[in-house]
């Protein structure tokens, strides 16, 4: 009988402390909330740089537009997966959701590497310009990741590392998509490597910190 | 970290289930009405509990205990650790009850939390076992483990203490768990709970006083 007394007394104690709670909005709605900030940054960049330059590049080099769309799809699906993984009982298979967008993004960017062969006159990034891309992606990923972490701390991610990888992927992909607005040159091997390094750093840092940052409810 | 990546459930995308219950923040009478299937009943009780219905809350928690024990068994938790898993799971359910979506399975939500708590208990047990294995002094000082009467008495005393701790108010219980049972420093406990170290000390002091009163009759 003593076995059942322990939960009973605890249940009564928890019952005494019960207060009404505001339910967590569904993952898709929380994803939209985060995308509003991404859209606000995009509008700010478009206001500053204008859309003409981006559209000219896309017309001249359609694979860059495809890569940008791939990055955007990756950002949306990775953020959605992160918010879904933040709810107990949801399948870990949600982590596969960003894969098609990622394949499109990486595939189209890879095609861009052939640009200086296919289009000999194209402007290709120098190592210095690639460094600027790296800084752009990382510096924009920090606030976007921080917002996702803050939003997910109200949830309960039971797989913190996987969720943190999704956060890193979403913020890095969103940053890369935003970079398209002010990118001044074609995608080359150096540029692709820079993107990969930036995305890798963002994903890794998030994964390393995810366990500590994402689970206040489980401590 | 690696274990956190391991799915404890089949890797299948959540099926888009029909919405079982569109319960608004209903009172317990509504939650009880003509719901015969146990899982739906628990879902309705939890939905009502999110709105602050204490009776439904205590019922759903009591109904959850066998499910938590089953989840702990599935993870390979020993019988003597099951009470700890039940207690930790109920406390976690209390903290994250806002993450439950009444349109989805309550049992899946609860089982995911219980499985995570069971893994935490196993890890904690593993760490303790590792420490004790290398503590030569502990071996020397350890009383004769074949003394069955002593062992039973110790078990009973430990159970009485666990019960007493479970009945403490939440702040005091948290202080005992963090500073006493988990042997965290004030700074660590403060970081984990978000409470100031002064508040933790006061709560620990009050808890010790309450426990002394309970066991010895004198404050």
Q: CATH number for the domain including B216?
A: 1.10.10.10
- Write the CB contacts of B105 (distance below 8 Å, at least 6 apart in sequence): A89, B17, B39, B43
**Quick one: B160 and B132 in the same domain?**
no
- B108, B138, B168 - which closes a domain: B138
B17 pLDDT above the threshold of 60: no
| A91·B97 Cβ contact <8 A | no
Chain A residues touching residue B62 (CB < 8 angstroms) = 7-8, 11
User: What's the average model confidence in pLDDT over B54-60?
Assistant: 94
| pLDDT attached to residue B18 | 36
**Is the reported ipTM for this assembly greater than 0.95?**
no
User: What's the average model confidence in pLDDT over B122-138?
Assistant: 65
Note whether residue B81 is domain-resident.
Answer: yes
**Quick one: B87 and B128 in the same domain?**
yes
**Quick one: B39 and B91 in the same domain?**
yes
Chain B residues touching residue A30 (CB < 8 angstroms) = none
Chain B residues touching residue A159 (CB < 8 angstroms) = 4-5, 7
Tokens found for residue A191:
């540029």
User: What's the average model confidence in pLDDT over B35-43?
Assistant: 81
Give the angle subtended at the CA of B6 by the CAs of A89 and A145, to the nearest 5°. 75
- B84, B103, B138 - which closes a domain: B138
**Rounded to a whole number, what is the distance in Å from the CA of B49 to chain A's nearest CA?**
7
Confidence class of residue B16 from pLDDT cuts 50, 70 and 90?
Answer: very low
Instruction: Give the CB-side neighbour count of residue A141, counting CA atoms within 13 A.
Output: 31
Tokens found for residue A100:
């098609």
Note whether residue B15 is domain-resident.
Answer: no
**Quick one: B122 and B170 in the same domain?**
no
Confidence class of residue B148 from pLDDT cuts 50, 70 and 90?
Answer: low
Answer yes or no: are the C-beta atoms of A167 and A202 closer than 8 Å: no
Residues facing A186 on adjacent strands:
A124
Mean pLDDT by 10 residues, chain A (219 residues): 62 90 94 94 88 80 85 95 94 95 87 60 58 78 89 89 90 88 64 76 79 67
**Which range marks the domain in which residue B204 is found?**
152-219
**Quick one: B78 and B181 in the same domain?**
no
Note whether residue B109 is domain-resident.
Answer: yes
Q: How many domains does chain B have?
A: 2
Note whether residue B3 is domain-resident.
Answer: no
- Give contacts of B 141-160 with A, CB under 8 A: 159
| pLDDT attached to residue B26 | 41
The shortest CB-CB distance from A20 to any of B25, B65, B120 is to B25
**Rounded to a whole number, what is the distance in Å from the CA of A53 to chain B's nearest CA?**
41
Which of A107 and B16 is assigned the larger pLDDT?
Answer: A107
- Domain containing B30 — which CATH number? 1.10.1740.10
**What average pLDDT does the structure give for chain B?**
75
A87 burial via Cβ count (<10 Å: 0-12, 13-18, 19+): buried
**Quick one: B52 and B115 in the same domain?**
yes
**Quick one: B128 and B166 in the same domain?**
no
**Rounded to a whole number, what is the distance in Å from the CA of B207 to chain A's nearest CA?**
15
B218 pLDDT above the threshold of 70: no
| pLDDT attached to residue B125 | 75
- Write the CB contacts of A43 (distance below 8 Å, at least 6 apart in sequence): none
Tokens found for residue B199:
């508040």
| pLDDT attached to residue B21 | 36
pLDDT in tens, B150-165: 777 778 888 888 888 8
**Quick one: B164 and B111 in the same domain?**
no
């Amino acid at each position: 009988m003593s076995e059942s007394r322990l939960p009973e007394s605890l249940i009564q104690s928890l019952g005494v402390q019960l207060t009404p709670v505001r339910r967590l909005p569904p993952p898709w709605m929380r994803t939209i909330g985060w995308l509003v900030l991404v859209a606000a940054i995009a509008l700010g960049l478009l206001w500053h740089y204008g859309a003409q330059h981006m559209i000219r590049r896309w017309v001249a080099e359609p694979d860059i537009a495809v890569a940008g769309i791939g990055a955007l799809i990756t950002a949306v699906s990775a953020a959605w997966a992160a918010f879904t993984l933040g709810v107990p009982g949801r399948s870990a298979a949600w982590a596969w959701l960003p894969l098609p967008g990622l394949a499109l993004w990486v595939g189209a960017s890879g095609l861009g590497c052939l640009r200086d062969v296919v289009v000999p006159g194209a402007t290709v990034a120098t190592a210095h310009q690639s460094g600027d891309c790296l800084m752009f992606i990382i510096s924009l990923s920090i606030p976007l990741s921080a917002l996702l972490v803050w939003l997910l701390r109200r949830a309960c991610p039971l797989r913190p590392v996987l969720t943190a990888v999704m956060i890193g992927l979403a913020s890095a992909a969103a940053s890369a998509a935003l970079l398209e607005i002010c990118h001044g040159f074609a995608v080359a091997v150096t540029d692709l490597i820079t993107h990969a390094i930036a995305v890798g750093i963002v994903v890794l840092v998030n994964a390393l910190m995810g366990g500590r940052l994402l689970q206040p409810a489980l401590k | 970290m690696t274990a956190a990546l391991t799915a404890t459930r089949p890797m299948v995308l959540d099926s888009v289930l029909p919405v079982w219950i569109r319960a608004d923040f209903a009172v317990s009478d509504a939650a009880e009405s003509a719901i015969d299937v146990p899982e739906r009943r628990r879902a309705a009780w939890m939905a009502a509990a999110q709105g602050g219905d204490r009776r439904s809350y205590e019922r759903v928690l009591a109904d959850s205990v066998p499910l938590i024990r089953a989840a702990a068994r599935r993870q390979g938790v020993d019988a003597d650790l099951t009470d700890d898993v039940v207690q930790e799971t109920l406390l976690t359910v209390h903290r994250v009850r806002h993450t439950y979506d009444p349109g989805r399975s309550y049992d899946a939500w609860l089982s995911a939390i219980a499985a995570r708590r069971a893994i935490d208990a196993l890890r904690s047990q593993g760490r303790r076992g590792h420490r004790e294995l290398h503590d030569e002094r502990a071996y020397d000082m350890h009383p004769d483990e074949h003394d069955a009467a002593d062992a039973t008495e110790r078990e009973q005393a430990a159970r009485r203490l666990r019960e007493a701790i479970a009945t403490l108010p939440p702040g005091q219980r948290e202080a005992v768990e963090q500073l006493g049972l988990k042997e965290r420093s004030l700074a660590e406990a403060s970081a984990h709970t978000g409470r100031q170290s002064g508040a933790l000390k006061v709560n620990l002091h009050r808890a010790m006083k309450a426990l002394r009163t309970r066991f010895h009759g004198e404050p």
